[in-house]
Chain A
Amino acid sequence: MKWFAVLLLSFALPTLVAAQETVPPLANQQLADPGQEARATKLMSVIRCIQCQGQSIHDSDAPIAAAMRHEVRARVQSGENDAQINAWLKSRYGEWISFEPPSHGAGLVLWLLPVLLLGAALLVASSRFRKGKS
């Protein structure tokens, strides 16, 4: 059976080689420092892939997502903080690149809306309950 496994592997080899040919080094390689890798992973899961737009670069197999993962890991490794990395990406692709809406301008409405709706619901509910009592 061993020869059969080797045969199967030999089929897989060209695709493995082809897949790794053009990917930059840190695209699919974790950082040595677990703390840094955790930070990079957190960032990568809220950064949108520009090719497969519903996916984060953490999830995506697209080549451009690989390049973006490399860029994020390289910047984490070189000591940049989250805000600097986000700012770099936004200076290339705009607010669009982040899955987290900005907490200013139109984005602020999005963040405050749940609180406003909850407040309105409480008001309505409390007036109803009061009516029920009387």
Chain B
Amino acid sequence: MKRNWLVWMPLLALAFVAGLAIFRLANPNTDYVSSEMVGKPLPEFTLPAATDGVEGLTTANFRDGKPRMLNIFASWCLPCQAEAPYLDQLKAAGVEFHAIAIRDKPEDVAKFLAQNGNPFVRIGADQDMLVQLQLGSSGVPETYIIDGKGRIAYQHIGDIREEHVGPLLKIYRSLK
């Protein structure tokens, strides 16, 4: 009779495992890998123009004392189209954007900009994704907020939606 409590152990173990499963179902794991570069200076890079009629992008373009947002996008990426109206909203609110087009062709970038508008001042082409690696970026779209000295202040992973516009603006303006 002394060890009667042992009978309940399998049930307790099962309850523990079931509890873990319910917890994860209620709080789905985000598969986002955030960049360790946040808080650090932008890595050195020089990218050619992503298409005709725009200028390429280099680290020095972020060091003129003015904060900016750096949008990582691609013409082949659907969420990048979805976030276009909110980039326009941010631009209208005074945000200056530079962009990097990932693994893209000049004619596709041109088509993308014609369809979704072009809120960007400069667009660099990262054909082989090596600058993306340097940024600690893991996909498209992503948006970095860069302060006037070229330091990465914030990373937004995924497309920018309506609810993100306000908070992103707040961070951007705190840098001015």
Contact = CB atoms under 8 A, between A and B. Distances in A.
Partners in one complex: yes
Interface of A: 22-24, 50-51, 53, 63-64, 66-68, 70-71, 90-94, 96-97
B37 interface: yes
B33 interface: yes
Contact of A51 (B35, B127, B128, B138): B138
B128 A92 contact: no
A95 to B, nearest CB: 9
A50 B135 CA distance: 13
Contact of A92 (B31, B103, B133): B133
B134 A63 contact: no
B127 A92 contact: no
**Chain B binding surface SS class:** loop
Given A22-B103, A51-B139, A67 B132 contact: yes
Contacts of A63: 103, 129
Contact of B35 (A67, A71, A92): A92
Contacts of B129: 22, 24, 63-64, 66-67
Nearest to A90: B36
Most buried by A among B34, B36, B129: B129
Interface string B106-136: 0000000000000000000001111011111
Q: Which 3 A-B pairs have the closest CB atoms?
A: A92-B136, A24-B128, A67-B129
24 contacts: A22-B128, A24-B130, A50-B33, A50-B138, A53-B33, A64-B139, A66-B129, A67-B128, A67-B129, A67-B130, A70-B128, A71-B130, A71-B133, A90-B36, A91-B36, A92-B35, A92-B134, A92-B135, A92-B136, A93-B33, A93-B35, A93-B138, A94-B33, A94-B36
